[in-house]
Amino acid sequence: MTAPPRDTPPSGEEPQLGFGAAFTSAPASGAATAPGSGPAPGPAPAPAHGASGASGKTGPAPAPGPTQAAEPQLTAELEAALLRELRMNYDWENSARFRNRLRPPVFSLTTVAGRWGRWVSASRTLELSRKLVLTHLWPEVLGVMLHEMAHQFVDEVLRASESAHGEVFQKVCAERGIDGKAAGPPVAATPMADGADPQGGSEISRVLDRIRKLLALAGSSNQHEAEIAMRKAHELMLRHNIESTRARTYEAYDVAHLGDPEKRGNRVEDSVMVLLTEYFFVKVIRIPVYLPLLGKRGHVFELSGTRHNLEMAKHVYHFLLATAERLWRANRGDARVTSGRDRLAYQSGVIRGFHEKLKDERTELKETGLVWVGDAQLDSFYHLRHPRIVSRRSTLRRNEAHDAGREAGRTIVLHRPIEHGSTSAGGRKLLRD
């Protein structure tokens, strides 16, 4: 099985890093700064896995996640570790996107209201909002940092004299997969309101509505009717993506993040991500993240695609993980399942069985002339976001429990897509200078 690709350090390895800078720590209510050079005191951090290439946007902070407090505070030790992590990520992005042409700045965590980040030329300071760093996902933090690095590049390397987000700045961002917008919502895709269509066109809305209705019918208790509805939905999704790819623009793509960074990944999740990549029109990569409140690193999956496809992929992800767990509990009495240690083998078999079912459907649809050849614009978007990617293959242990799971997986009927909830366009937007 080919596992989802992942970002890696410039060397393509995952070394023990003793990175960072000498720093001065300030109380959490103030600003903490770290010079851009010098050795990091204390022991080296845990093994690093590179940094995300996510491009973030700024905007109102979402509600804190389940592991984050409303008003988080950092100890001096955690603050020092955070500043070292920011410097390590800066060095990685400087190498990957700017060919090491940037000179490390002073980093500052600020509490200025209404702004996520700012490049201050006079003091050579890269400011990041403390609230952003402590309450947003790490890819969003890196996105704001990249935006300010682009400002630094225009200021110190190109020495261009223009307005803050002028033509030169926008070109620098576009060439490096960086979000050049001055304000807006964070990078993660959010559910659209009913009828909303960022790509425009009532025809697309009608097609998506038909897909939703077919997947609702796929929840029928009549297995035959459910199978037919799911196959028709699969066909319509394929036809829609083949036709809409021709008119798609770079700006039509977005990203979403899945997975719990505090938990270790497993082959079941990896199998789901491979399936999403092959059959649900998204690109997936495993990216490292940092958890400032814990002083630890973890990983999440980043999905790239259109807003519609991201919503469907997120639903499929949660649906399949829940279904695999349900089938495991329901079939513990199967003679081929010998103990609880077979759980991952069985559940990865469930995903494999459903994968094979979709493959058979796609083969049948190919005979009708529906052939998916990929989305070159999405590929470009994905590779600009992640300039250095390493793919790997993993070996899957297949035993009788896995075979039992495969049989169960081939009976799965995908249904009940995520309902669209209305979203508010209001709220004060925060800025990046």
Give 306-324 pLDDT, tens digit per residue.
999 999 999 999 999 999 9
d(CA 204, CA 166): 34
Chain mean position to CA 88: 20
Tell me: the pLDDT tens digits for 322-360?
A: 999 999 999 888 889 888 889 999 999 999 999 999 999
Would residue 72 count as lying in a domain? yes
Judge if 168 and 228 occupy the same domain: no
Find the angle CA(300)-CA(263)-CA(133) to the nearest 5 degrees: 55
Would residue 347 count as lying in a domain? yes
Determine the average pLDDT of the residues in 51-64.
37
Q: Which amino acid is at 95?
A: S
On the question of pLDDT at 27 being above 80, the answer is no
d(CA 310, CA 314): 6
- Residue 12's pLDDT band, with cuts at 50, 70 and 90, is very low
Judge if 350 and 376 occupy the same domain: yes
d(CA 96, CA 260): 26
State whether the Cα torsion 206-212-214-220 is positive or negative. negative
Total domains in the chain come to 2
Judge if 133 and 180 occupy the same domain: yes
Which tokens in the block code for residue 318?
Answer: 């949660």
Judge if 158 and 214 occupy the same domain: no
- Comparing 157 with 233, which gets the higher pLDDT? 157
Cβ atoms < 10 Å from Cβ of 419: 10
Would residue 195 count as lying in a domain? no
Question: Please, are residues 48 and 108 in contact by the beta-carbon 8 Å criterion?
Answer: no
d(CA 160, CA 151): 10
Query: Poorest-confidence range of 93-107, 162-176, 274-288, 391-405?
Result: 391-405
Closest by CA to 90, choosing from 106, 78, 75, 79, is: 106
d(CA 380, CA 85): 28
Determine the average pLDDT of the residues in 166-175.
94
d(CA 274, CA 2): 7
Cα dist from 4 to 48, 185, 229, 271, 273, whole Å: 18, 27, 29, 9, 7
Burial letters for 115-130: b for 16+ Cβ neighbours within 10 Å, e otherwise? bbbbbbeeebbbbbbb
Judge if 143 and 241 occupy the same domain: no
Judge if 275 and 220 occupy the same domain: yes
Tell me: the pLDDT tens digits for 110-138?
A: 998 889 999 999 999 999 999 999 999 99
d(CA 250, CA 381): 7
d(CA 94, CA 88): 10
Tell me: the pLDDT tens digits for 237-269?
A: 998 888 888 777 666 899 999 999 999 889 999
Would residue 105 count as lying in a domain? yes
100 Rama sector, left if φ>0, alpha if ψ -120 to 50, beta otherwise: left
Would residue 180 count as lying in a domain? yes
Q: What is the domain extent for residue 20?
A: 2-188
User: End-to-end CA distance of the chain, in Å?
Assistant: 44
| Per-residue confidence (pLDDT) for residue 20, from 0 to 100 | 26
Residues 6+ apart with CB under 8 A from 151: 119, 164, 169, 433
| Per-residue confidence (pLDDT) for residue 158, from 0 to 100 | 96
pLDDT more than 70, % of the chain: 73
pLDDT more than 90, % of the chain: 50
* φ, ψ (nearest 5 deg) of residue 379: -60, -40
Would residue 341 count as lying in a domain? yes
- Residue 56's pLDDT band, with cuts at 50, 70 and 90, is very low
Would residue 350 count as lying in a domain? yes
Residue with tokens 């495969």: 406
Highest averaged pLDDT of the listed ranges 246-260, 295-309, 376-390: 295-309
Determine the average pLDDT of the residues in 10-25.
29
Residue 66, classified by CB atoms within 10 Å of its CB into exposed (0-12), middle (13-18) or buried (19+), is exposed
Closest by CA to 283, choosing from 292, 291, 293, 273, is: 273
Judge if 162 and 206 occupy the same domain: no
On the question of pLDDT at 174 being above 50, the answer is yes
Cβ atoms < 10 Å from Cβ of 234: 24
Judge if 261 and 393 occupy the same domain: yes
Cα dist from 166 to 150, 182, 403, 433, whole Å: 12, 11, 58, 12
Closest by CA to 55, choosing from 190, 152, 199, 186, is: 186
| Per-residue confidence (pLDDT) for residue 46, from 0 to 100 | 34
Cα-only R_g, the chain: 23
What is the average pLDDT value for the chain, to the nearest integer?
Answer: 79
Judge if 140 and 256 occupy the same domain: no
Which of 188, 222, 240 terminates a domain? The answer is 188
On the question of pLDDT at 396 being above 80, the answer is no
Judge if 217 and 257 occupy the same domain: yes
| Per-residue confidence (pLDDT) for residue 210, from 0 to 100 | 84
Determine the average pLDDT of the residues in 388-415.
85
Chain mean position to CA 52: 9
Would residue 428 count as lying in a domain? no
- Residue 295's pLDDT band, with cuts at 50, 70 and 90, is very high
pTM: 0.77
d(CA 37, CA 105): 8
| Per-residue confidence (pLDDT) for residue 218, from 0 to 100 | 84
Residues 6+ apart with CB under 8 A from 246: none
Question: Please, are residues 202 and 217 in contact by the beta-carbon 8 Å criterion?
Answer: no
Judge if 241 and 345 occupy the same domain: yes
Determine the average pLDDT of the residues in 286-309.
95
Judge if 224 and 154 occupy the same domain: no
- Residue 390's pLDDT band, with cuts at 50, 70 and 90, is confident
